[in-house]
Structure 1
Amino acid sequence: MKSIFLTIIIVMISFNVYAEDKPYTLGTVWEVSYIKVNDGKLEDYLKNLNSGYYPIYEEFKKKGWITSYKAISFNRNNPDDWNLMLLTEYPNWATFDRKEAEWEAVVDAVFKNKEAQEDSDEDRENIRVLWGSKVGREMIPVI
């Protein structure tokens, strides 16, 4: 009986040690979008982001819905390659999964004019191609 009890205790301790021995801690959630901006249009695209996208994201930051956002320019490997990466950092999965109606209310408040919002969206569509997006969780090394 003692040996069974001792075996159970050893197994339970080994599971706890294994579970706590991860080489990382979970960090924030990142959404990454890959954009191909048309030749000679990078400055126009960034101006469009400055007038629409970034003010909205500043409101999201004030509400605590996002932590940060960035745009990183890259050289292309070939003419069809993407050349701009947009990154948005969320505190956790719960804030990433907010109801779309909450996000839309902020967008509407920033633009205040649906026509201006549609014009901004159309301008953006004419100077870039969205290659795709990915969402992932940062893994912070435990040193």
Structure 2
Amino acid sequence: MRTIFRYALCAVLALIAGTAMSQDKQYKEGPVVEQSFIKIKPGKFSDYVAYLAGPYKALMEARKKAGLITSYAVYSFAARNPSEPDMILSTTYPNWAALDRVAEDEAVSAKVMGTMKQMEQAGADRGVMREVLGSQMMQELILK
């Protein structure tokens, strides 16, 4: 009987210790950053930067004002070879849950960019200026 009690006590203590250790993370989860890698087509740099300074900036500022994103940035990238991007577009979200606010984001986009048909045409227009090479999403871990 004592042996069973000892095993049960050890199991309970191990469970408590494991729970306590898992709650003692050495970091907290920070913002989520999305980066898009853009290759600008020859002769289209000025046109693409004009798009970024116009409609893109207006959309990002509206998303920021609505609390959908916390910040955004455009980086010029020194490509070392023809397959690398010329530009990186970065968008920072407060957390992963912010990505679930699709209806709100669509409403902000419609207000700034117009109807779905207008947004599709704008996407086609951007396609002649640049190629999206890929994207990545990552979350900052803030060390304690």
CA shift for structure 1 position 38: 2.3
TM-score by length of 1: 0.80
Give the RMSD, CA atoms, in angstroms. Answer: 2.5
Match in the other structure for 2:78: 75
1:103 counterpart letter in structure 2: D
CA apart distance, 1:90: 1.0
Count of aligned residue pairs for this structure pair: 141
TM-score (norm. length: structure 2): 0.80
Aligned to 1:59: 62
Map of 2:26 onto structure 1: 23
Q: Which runs of 5+ in 1 are unaligned?
A: none
One-letter amino acid of the counterpart of residue 53, structure 1: Y
Give the structure with higher Rg (CA): 2
| CA 141–40 in structure 1, closer or farther in 2 if over 3 Å, else same | farther
Q: Percent identity?
A: 37
- SS of the residue corresponding to residue 60 of structure 1 reads helix
Deviation, structure 1 residue 112: 4.3
Partner of 2:109: 107
Distance 2:28 2:83 in 1: 37
Distance 1:107 1:10 in 2: 53
CA contact (8 A) 1:57 1:69 kept: yes
- Distance, in Å, in 1 between the alignment partners of 2:59 and 2:142 is 28
